[in-house]
Amino acid sequence: MRRVTLAGILLHLVIAFPMFWLADTRTVGGLWAAMCLPMLASTIAYASIGTLLSGWFTPRVRCTGLSMSFQPAGLMGSAAPSAATWLFSATGDSWTPVALAFAAMAALSVACLMLHRPPRST
């Protein structure tokens, strides 16, 4: 499970700049690819994340642990479109800082996944 999730997150790193380059072509094919590439990466990462994360918590606290992880992430994630729009306009309509932020979030996710060690089953 860990490897599948890691592959999806690493794919986010790989496509961070190409997805914006493709969108910048302003063609139907380029826009289509720019939207599909991050969705493919997310699908790969999220395919196994439920199983992966459930193994991070002991059965006694699993529901609470997952909820305490997902709820703040959902709240922070809902600010991402507004933050990206602000970053784009604040930098003179440049997508480069947005791509860097996207890549930085993926890199942080990779680091957290690599550093985390699940608890031993009891």
Grouping H, G, I as helix, E, B as strand and the rest as coil, residue 37 is: helix
Decide if pLDDT at 122 tops 60: no
* C-alpha pair distances (Å), 2 with each of 65, 91, 112, 113: 18, 36, 12, 8
DSSP-derived letter for residue 118 is P
Contact yes or no for 28/20 (Cβ under 8 A):
no
Q: What is the mean pLDDT of residues 7-36?
A: 94
pLDDT, mean over the chain = 90
Query: How far apart are the C-alpha atoms of 91 and 62, rounded to whole Å?
Result: 42
Decide if pLDDT at 42 tops 80: yes
Look up the pTM and report it. 0.81
Contact yes or no for 101/94 (Cβ under 8 A):
no
b/e per residue, 45-75, with b = 16+ CB within 10 A? beebbeebbeeebeeeeeeeeeeeeeeeeee
The per-residue pLDDT for 121 is 58
Contact yes or no for 113/2 (Cβ under 8 A):
yes
Contact yes or no for 62/54 (Cβ under 8 A):
yes
Other Cβ atoms within 10 Å of 108 Cβ, number: 11
Decide if pLDDT at 4 tops 80: yes
